[in-house]
Amino acid sequence: MTCPHCKSVHTSERPKRTELGYRRFLCRRCGREFNERTGTPFNRLQYPSDVVCLVVLWRLRHALLWRKSSYGTQSQRGSRFVEAILTVVSSCQQQGRNVLAYLTACCRAFSMGRVGPSLLPRTSSSLRIC
């Protein structure tokens, strides 16, 4: 395995694994220890990579199912619209807000020439993680 710190290929696997079961290595060139996740977005997470990937997949499931059933979009404008709607749906679900009520308020505000309601959470405690 290549050392993520000095890019050396002269590494040796350590006998003990991390608490999450990942292999550990020692670089013979710079002397630093690292594991399989060092230098990746998963490095400091306290959950196994497969669990993190499953959570991400579950969060994306709605968008993936929509794309599969609708055969995608026909234009860039259509793609931007879908991105915006799926963002609204996901954000409202995470905040425990009613998606239809939010979209209705947006349409009413638009028809009256006003600014629509914010999609940002009202407070930091209103966010629900998965």
Distances in Å between the alpha carbon of 121 and those of 82, 95, 96? Answer: 21, 7, 10
Q: How far apart are CA 77 and CA 83, in angstroms?
A: 10
- Check residue 77 and give its pLDDT: 85
Query: Is pLDDT larger for residue 51 or for residue 123?
Result: 51
Q: What are the residue ranges spanned by the domains of the chain?
A: 1-45, 72-126
Contact 66, 82 (CB under 8 A): yes
Q: What is the mean pLDDT of the chain?
A: 86
Per-residue pLDDT band for 5 (boundaries 50, 70, 90) equals very high
Contact 24, 16 (CB under 8 A): yes
CATH fold, domain 1-45, is N-terminal domain of TfIIb (2.20.25)
- Check residue 129 and give its pLDDT: 52
Distances in Å between the alpha carbon of 75 and those of 10, 66, 81? Answer: 50, 16, 10
Dihedral (Cα; 22, 27, 33, 37), 10-degree rounding? -40
Amino acid present at 48: P
Residue 41, pLDDT above cutoff 90: no
Q: What is the mean pLDDT of residues 65-85?
A: 80
